[in-house]
Structure 1
Amino acid sequence: MGNVEGFMNKFSIPVALVYCIFILFHLSAMFTLILQLNFFKRENFLRAFLFFTGTVSLLMLLGDFALASDISKEYLFGLPGEFNILFVSQALHFVFYILMIVLLVFTRKSILKKSEEVVLKDDSIFINAQYIGIMSGVSGLILFTIFSVLSLTVYPLPPWAIDAGVVVISLVAVIPYVLIVLYWLVIKLNERISGWYDEKQYQDITRASLVTLIASVIIMALIFIAQYFVSSLNFFNEIWFPFYIFLVLLLFSASTLYFNKKGPDLVSRESNIDLSKRNKNLGLAVLIGGYLTLAFWLLTILLSVEIGLGWESYIAMGFFGLLMIASGILFLLSLIFNIIESRENKRISRGLIFTIASFPPIAFSYLAIFIKALTEGH
């Protein structure tokens, strides 16, 4: 094997210089991408993909030093697992370099042909942010799944290592989205908040928020139920919060992009939005959501009697917390919108009736949780 550590020390300076060049390339590439996002008014998936890949590649580049240091110390005792991570990191760097060159070539051709178009205000940043949100959500969910499976089977890890892995994976996957959102906020600082979105974008994110709320609650409910039948899913106790964050990010970004790409507004361009119909549907959603919350609550009480489901489960409390937060937010929104409509029309709207009818199950669920929290352990 030879003196591997001495060999690594001998080439440490040349390797450090090469990595400095890599870092400069990454920084210049990211600066170029930001300029392109600001200059070109047409969204481009390749630019969004490179922004995400470049940010992750830069973070991995900084982590390569720690990997190389560990490898030089552990190589004599057998091939360390850090090599696998280092290989993946180098592959990511290579993909970023090649695709960045491809983007520069395509950009030059588009400028010469003057093929770039001017579209709606900030539509490019808005859509590119959704692309990056989807990639962050997908990568976070995939990385957490792989990490959980490996830590339970091939590479068993102590609790502190699992916690560290969860934090590192979360940061690597979410930082690209945080950066694009911060960039979007910076270019919006000189505008009034009411002008941050145009009418179409506002409708898109409103619909996407409702889809995300409903879908995330359903998915978390299915996982909650599956845990009591599949013991191997207990690892979810360690990663449920970052999993939920990336799930919501994926659902929201994908839904927003879908509604944006679907075409014109769902409402007629010749008439205003039917506010009464919207408020009635919102009130109906609150009514259904409230009684579904109560049904899940009673079902869990039944399961606790039949199979001994304990209230000490943080997943159980977290699940009902999500359900009640969702119901509470919908209730407040529906109450506000329907009260405004009722005052303007000087009559009680149907949505307000539905909202008031949903109050008993929601209030009962909150009260039951409050009483249980006060009496737990007494």
Structure 2
Amino acid sequence: MEKTLKNIDAWLKIPAVVTGILSIGFFVFDLIILLQLQPKMVHFDSLSERDFQLVNYSGYGLIVFLLFCLLSIYRLLRFLKYAERITFLSIVSLAAAIAGFLLIFSFIGLLDDIGDQYEQKLSQPEWNWLYPVIVLQIAVAVWLVCMHYLDMNLVRQEKQITLDGNIFLLVHYTGSLCGFLGVVFLLTGFRFASAWNLLIHSTIVPIILLIPYILILVYWLICKLQEKSRTWFDEKQLQDIGKSAILTLIIHFLIMTGLFILNYNNLAGAVRLLWLPIDLFLCLTSFSVWNLIFYTKG
């Protein structure tokens, strides 16, 4: 088993490092061309064919970065599946890979908004968000390339299979991250209520934020179905799930009631577009965090 894992890691390491380095190069290129294009677009100057071609190159870079994130997530999942213990470094790396995956959609959305506003000759405040997103993508790529290059001690920690507990933790780490990001994003809807869109901001973005969690759940389900003597949850996990569900119900009741009271005189405002996704991500965050707390207490 260990020899096979080493061989697979050796093959995965090369494309992971290469796509990571290429991603960094593409994002640096993006910064350069966008800094050149911003003055033109802000002042509504005409863009040349060359300008449009340069923007198209950003799309190629995103494809490479997407492949890099998927390779990173896959390699980390293999590690977490067989690791003797889950380290803080591996959790940070997994969070970075998931965040990088989600930032791809942020980048696309911001560029699309800027393009639409340029055509309609409107102000383009998204530029203030676009550059931090690119910097974060570079930071994610640099971090993960370093982790791949240093091997993250993946194989050396694969001494025995502790599959069930590791995947249980993995599901809730991912749920905590996706839930937290969802809550933070949705709360901005109260600040930018006039620009909030039901389809894009309250439907499409929450679905995108849930993709990593859904994929991890599917991964957990596949692993469970592959077990010969299948036990969905052990006694400790069942207790943790029960306690987490009760606490989540209490927290959910208090926060959603408070949200209703705070918006009582303006229920036709932003809250009507936000209450359901906030409810969903709040439950996901609370349930996942409490499960992690109870699990780590032993």
Q: Give RMSD over aligned pairs.
A: 3.1
Q: Give the structure, 1 or 2, with the largest relative contact order (CA under 8 Å, sep 6 or more).
A: 2
TM-score (norm 1): 0.58
- The alignment partner of 2:195 has SS state of coil
Q: Which of 53, 66, 71 is the matching residue for 1:23?
A: 66
The answer to whether structure 1 residue 134 and structure 2 residue 170 are counterparts is: no
Unmatched 5+ stretches in structure 2: 1-39
The answer to whether structure 1 residue 98 and structure 2 residue 142 are counterparts is: yes
Change (3 A) 1:132 1:46: farther
Partners of 1:108 and 1:173 lie apart in 2 by 26
Give the match for residue 219 of structure 1.
Answer: 255
Within 5 Å, give how 1:1-378 maps onto structure 2: 1=40, 3-12=46-55, 14-61=57-104, 64-65=107-108, 67-68=110-111, 71-72=114-115, 74-75=117-118, 77=121, 80-104=124-148, 107-109=151-153, 111=155, 114=156, 118=160, 120-151=162-193, 156-157=194-195, 161-191=197-227, 195-228=231-264, 231=266, 234-263=269-298
The answer on whether the counterparts of 1:42 and 1:118 sit within 8 Å (CA) in structure 2 is: no
Q: Which moved more, 1:65-74 or 1:8-17?
A: 65-74
Partners of 1:192 and 1:104 lie apart in 2 by 33
Unmatched 5+ stretches in structure 1: 264-378
Which protein has the larger Cα radius of gyration, Structure 1 or Structure 2? 1
- The alignment partner of 1:148 has SS state of helix
Aligned length: 254
Residue 63 of structure 1: how far off its partner (Å): 5.8
Partners of 1:163 and 1:20 lie apart in 2 by 25
The answer on whether the counterparts of 1:133 and 1:177 sit within 8 Å (CA) in structure 2 is: yes
The answer on whether the counterparts of 2:244 and 2:287 sit within 8 Å (CA) in structure 1 is: yes
Identity percentage of aligned residues: 25
Residue 134 of structure 1: how far off its partner (Å): 1.1
Residue 122 of structure 1: how far off its partner (Å): 1.6
Change (3 A) 1:72 1:211: closer
Amino acid at match of 1:87: Y
Change (3 A) 1:219 1:79: closer
Amino acid at match of 1:210: I
